[in-house]
Amino acid sequence: MDRQIWANVCGVSLAAAVTAAAPASAAAAPAQDRPNIIIILADDLGYGDVGVQGARDVSTPNIDRLAASGVRMTDFYANHATCAPSRAGLLLGKYQQRFGFYSNPARGEQANYGLPAAEETLPERLKTLGYATAMVGKWHLGFSPQHRPNAHGFDSFYGFLEGAFAYTADAPSGGKEAWRNGERTPMPAHTTEAFTKEAVEFIDQHKTKPFFIYASYNAVHAPLQTTQAYLDRVKDEPNPDRRRYLAMLMALDDGVGEIVKAVDRNGLRRKTLIVFTSDNGGPTWQTTSSNHPLNGVKVTTLEGGIRVPTIFSWPGVVPAGRTSAAAGMGMDITATALRAAKAPVDGLDGVDMMPYLKGQKAGDAHRQLFWASPQYSALREGRWKLVEAEGEYLLFDLKSDLGERRDLAAVQPKRLEKMKASFKAWSDTMSPPAKWEPIGRNPANKGKYAKLVRDYVNGVPVDPRPLLFGGGPE
């Protein structure tokens, strides 16, 4: 982002975004009339790595069945192209830039990093309505006690705090410090299976009252680690890295299946909203993830970095087997969940997707969608997409050029300037970067982020790791 626009990402008070208290009628509604809510969040899942999304070298029967039971979104986005900011936007139902969250934290920054105490998360809102709340898996939103899951509305937390984690107890790399609420706990034999088991047990234990589960898997984020049992299920894949990735995806798909089975076994399927999505696009250079047919990868605001597989399933409420092209974003999941729970959504940027899921409303849920980080920004407005990288601007017509290969900035100057003005107007309402934001990037990388985007647009996929570990967004 150029200096002028970055300077404009300063300053409007958040007072206008403070969430209003729930009206008495909402607070008084019987808890049993509210649906259970389960959000299953994959990590770094490629847009083209799910069977129902067109994957050819992998079978994801459980995710595919979930799609068949509900609505699959073709134009749904993460709030950011990297993990932590995306998760913040999802759990708070608003643009995370409103409170200065623009990128993953700087390495070694722990004390101040995390969600602001003044921001009310989805589980905090649901707890006031009588929900039992649980989280399993990856947090990545703060390390200090005041920034951990239990301080942000989760009754129960089992998982890890950092951005990446080992998958097996004998793995040679990756974090291995698991947590159960506020206490360290032994590393499980297989993290994906352990997180699934915890979610299933929570469903069994709370079947008589409304519950919220945030199943935040680290699969299929690096490191590429799995067990022989999963490798044997994809033995025909010749690429060893791809084989490990697909094996990890098998474990994730199994987890989705087990969670749905637990809901079914307890007779709760028609009382449960299940949402499946990813925190950002796939880092192909690192894990072999496929974002086909999109261009770009995690960390960029090309479609491959931000458009994610997303499914809403709620039998009897959400139509089965439907596909929707309504453009939405992770923050809309929180708004949809709250409205399903008969709660207000005042002060949120997210909108209730239910009318679009049911086909009651046509078009996009937002007239404009925005993304912003120190290196990249973007704006989608209908079929048009503005991409900015270090002050360079590209313009794409997604309707005719989904792969973002033809930059129309030079032939659409008026549209370009109008969209640049729209982005500036939005950024003027956001907050400056939080103190823990890694703003001091390596000056030697100046210009390389813009080149990375141009290379992808020109059909030259490159390895961005020198930028990531040289001061870029991890």
Helix (H, G, I), strand (E, B) or coil at 131: coil
- CA distances for 29 relative to 33, 130, 164, 207, 213, angstroms: 7, 10, 40, 19, 21
* Helix (H), strand (E) at residue 276: strand 272-278
3-state secondary structure 391-455: CEEEEEECCCCCCCCCCCCCCCHHHHHHHHHHHHHHHCCCCCCCCCCCCCCCHHHCCHHHHHHHH
State the Cα–Cα distance between residues 253 and 411, nearest whole angstrom: 44
Question: Which residues are bridge partners to 310 per DSSP?
Answer: 73
- In 3D space, the residue among 235, 52, 26, 58 whose CA is nearest the CA of residue 130 turns out to be 26
Kindly list the catalytic residues.
83, 140
Q: Specify the pairing of strand 384-389 against strand 71-73.
A: unpaired
State the Cα–Cα distance between residues 414 and 55, nearest whole angstrom: 39
Sheet order of strands, 36-42 included: 183-185, 178-180, 156-160, 132-138, 211-216, 36-42, 272-278, 310-313, 71-73, 322-324
Q: In angstroms, what is the C-alpha Rg of the chain?
A: 21
By residue count, the chain amounts to 474
State the Cα–Cα distance between residues 221 and 237, nearest whole angstrom: 19
Q: Tokens in use for 144? A: 């200090």
